[in-house]
Amino acid sequence: MIVTRHGDKRTRKRVGVNRSAVERTARKALMNGVARHETKGGLRRYLDALYHYNRSAEHMRVWGEKVWLFTDKNILITVLDLPRKYKNRANGIVKKGDEPNARNSEPQEKGIEEEIPSGETEGDPLKDISAGDGGRTDDQADEEGGIR
């Protein structure tokens, strides 16, 4: 993988990786990114406009909310930020055979039902207290001779 000086500088600035990780990151973008022909709608039109502006960018990839421009010989030309209005669309695209990204997969809900400790029953725990009898049940009140 060859990275131009401009591509190196833009990758470090826009992606936030150090110099030694630029080539590795560019390779990942080329291999795992979504190609222009795999997109549709407004994102496709945006990438087509980029291609017509810079025809030496034969291979475009959308990866990590960035647009990666490569020549036909897989030389990284530059990295562009994907406009905000296309980011949701780009995050929703999953290549065949790829697992969905963690941010795209919905979390599975764990059981949130609370267990009732033994000896307690379901119901309103404040029901008996709010009656004004100090929390005594009707049976307790009868045994004690009624309400005091």
pLDDT in tens, 33-44: 999 899 889 999
pLDDT digits (tens, 9 = 90+) for 47-97: 999 989 988 888 899 998 999 999 989 899 999 999 998 888 777 775 544
Burial class, 133, CB count within 10 angstroms (exposed 0-12 / middle 13-18 / buried 19+) = middle
Q: In angstroms, rounded to a whole number, what is the distance separating the alpha carbons of residues 80 and 11?
A: 9
- Cβ pair 50, 90 in contact under 8 A: no
Of 64, 92, 80, nearest to 10 by C-alpha is 80
Give the model's pLDDT for residue 16: 94
- Cα distances from 56 to residues 84, 119, 147, in angstroms, run 25, 76, 92
- Higher-confidence residue of 29 and 103: namely 29
Q: Tell me the pTM.
A: 0.61
* Predicted confidence band of residue 114 (pLDDT cuts 50, 70, 90): very low
pLDDT cut 90: percent of the chain above it = 42
The three-class DSSP label of residue 81 is strand
Q: In angstroms, rounded to a whole number, what is the distance separating the alpha carbons of residues 142 and 148?
A: 11
